Chain A
Amino acid sequence: MKTILFSIVVLGTLSLAACNNGTDKSTEANKTNADTAQAATPENTDSTKSAAPISAIVGHYLHLKNALANDDGNDAAAAGKAMVGAIDQFDTSSLTSDQKKTYQELAGDTRENAEHIGANADKIDHQREHFEMLSKDMYDLVKKFGAGQTVYQDFCPMYNNQKGATWISETKDIKNPYLGKKMPTCGSVKEEIK
């Protein structure tokens, strides 16, 4: 009887602890949001493209892409987390309301995909699935807001049961992030984006 009661209470305490963790997390998230809001200072008010902050997001994306090409899930997760941070810190105050809407729609999806990649260091296949959607978002972001450097859209026809998938690269040379070291040079440049 004692053992039963004891285990019930232990369970209860554990779940209480679990609940507390949940609350902490949301408080933390709120805090981050508040910090971001405070950190938001108007910059580049006169330019239509705010290339500098987007280039931070692009930079983390390229880091992520190279990590996947090297089959390194941990490095990819780190890059994914950094990307989430860069998106949260991006200052939309310099954008027109139309741009802001486009940005928020694209960045919302980008952030979610990057978050999943950050949380799945041990599941590189799952990271790659999210990377496929992320790459599509990145292409549109770069097209709309500029990458701050010349980038290329590459295409691998083999990934996803021959359905194919694209990614953004900083070099003309192919380094396939979907197949990694198994087939590092599979794919071709589809478009040069200046």
Chain B
Amino acid sequence: MIPMKWSKKILLALVITFITMQFIQPARNKNGQVLPIDFTKIYIVPANLQVLLQNACYDCHSNNTRYPWYVNTQPMAWVMAGHIKNGKEKLNFSEFGSYPTRRQESKLKGIANSIKDDIMPLSSYKIMHKTANLSPADKTLLMNWMQRKADSLAQIN
């Protein structure tokens, strides 16, 4: 066999690495059912608000992610899986009812504040998902609703 040049060997190794990467697929975050402890089951959420949550939050903060076409390309899927795991740990709308009332109040305020301070949705997410770019009116709607809900829970706590 003719000895290859080093640069070619390295290139070949890189190509093999990239191809191998494609076979390591993280598990999908997709659970078709809506649990009884879902955010929309424990609270009466107006339809327009549900759409906003779906478009801007649920991909990382629920049990159901709408995956983009590039999900099958590594390392994108790994990055996404990491974001989803982290996001669900902090806040999961699909299991919102499992939080004690005080946690719920805290989370609702946290949601309002994160939107107000422009911490959420993540700017990297907004680049890839145009619908996550909330208009000022959408933001106000979300913040006011979350705040009102938190205030009503505060009276129970």
Interface residues of A (CB under 8 A from B): 2, 5-6, 8-9, 11-12, 14-16, 18-19, 22, 105-106, 108-109, 112-113, 116, 123, 125-126, 129-130, 132-133, 136-137
Whether B79 is near chain A, meaning CB under 8 Å from some CB there, is: yes
Contact A125 B21 (CB under 8 A): no
Whether B85 is near chain A, meaning CB under 8 Å from some CB there, is: yes
Closest chain A CB from B105 CB (angstroms): 8
Closest chain B CB from A163 CB (angstroms): 9
Whether B11 is near chain A, meaning CB under 8 Å from some CB there, is: yes
Interface residues of B (CB under 8 A from A): 11, 14-15, 17-18, 21, 74-75, 78-79, 82, 85-86, 100, 102-103, 105-106, 109-110, 113, 117, 119, 157
Closest chain B CB from A173 CB (angstroms): 28
Contact A12 B17 (CB under 8 A): yes
Contact B11 A2 (CB under 8 A): yes
Minimum CB distance partner of B21 in chain A: A12
Query: Which chain B residues border A129 with CB–CB below 8 Å?
Result: 109-110, 113, 117
Contact B100 A9 (CB under 8 A): no
Minimum CB distance partner of A2 in chain B: B11
Closest chain B CB from A68 CB (angstroms): 16
Query: Which chain A residues border B86 with CB–CB below 8 Å?
Result: 22
Query: Which chain B residues border A125 with CB–CB below 8 Å?
Result: 117
Minimum CB distance partner of B76 in chain A: A15
Contact B85 A112 (CB under 8 A): no
Measured between alpha carbons, how far is A119 from B139 in the docked complex, in Å? 24
Contact B85 A5 (CB under 8 A): no
* Extra pairs beyond A11-B75, A112-B106, A129-B109 (10, CB < 8 Å): A12-B21, A15-B79, A19-B82, A105-B102, A108-B103, A112-B103, A116-B110, A125-B117, A129-B110, A137-B102
9 A-B pairs (CB sep. < 8 Å):
A5-B18, A12-B74, A18-B79, A22-B86, A106-B102, A109-B102, A125-B117, A129-B110, A129-B117
Contact A16 B106 (CB under 8 A): no
Query: Which chain B residues border A108 with CB–CB below 8 Å?
Result: 100, 103
Closest chain A CB from B126 CB (angstroms): 19
Measured between alpha carbons, how far is A22 from B82 in the docked complex, in Å? 7
Known A-B contacts A15-B75, A108-B100; A123 and B15 likewise in contact (beta carbons under 8 Å): no
Query: Which chain B residues border A8 with CB–CB below 8 Å?
Result: 14, 18
Closest chain B CB from A110 CB (angstroms): 9
Contact A113 B106 (CB under 8 A): yes
Query: Which chain A residues border B18 with CB–CB below 8 Å?
Result: 5, 8-9, 12
Query: Which chain B residues border A16 with CB–CB below 8 Å?
Result: 75, 78
Contact A133 B79 (CB under 8 A): no
Query: Which chain A residues border B100 with CB–CB below 8 Å?
Result: 105, 108-109
Closest chain A CB from B34 CB (angstroms): 25
Closest chain B CB from A141 CB (angstroms): 11
Between B14, B106, B109, B113, the greatest number of chain A beta carbons within 10 A of the residue's beta carbon is seen for: B106
Measured between alpha carbons, how far is A185 from B14 in the docked complex, in Å? 63
Query: Which chain B residues border A14 with CB–CB below 8 Å?
Result: 75
Query: Which chain B residues border A15 with CB–CB below 8 Å?
Result: 74-75, 78-79
Contact A9 B14 (CB under 8 A): yes
Measured between alpha carbons, how far is A22 from B85 in the docked complex, in Å? 10
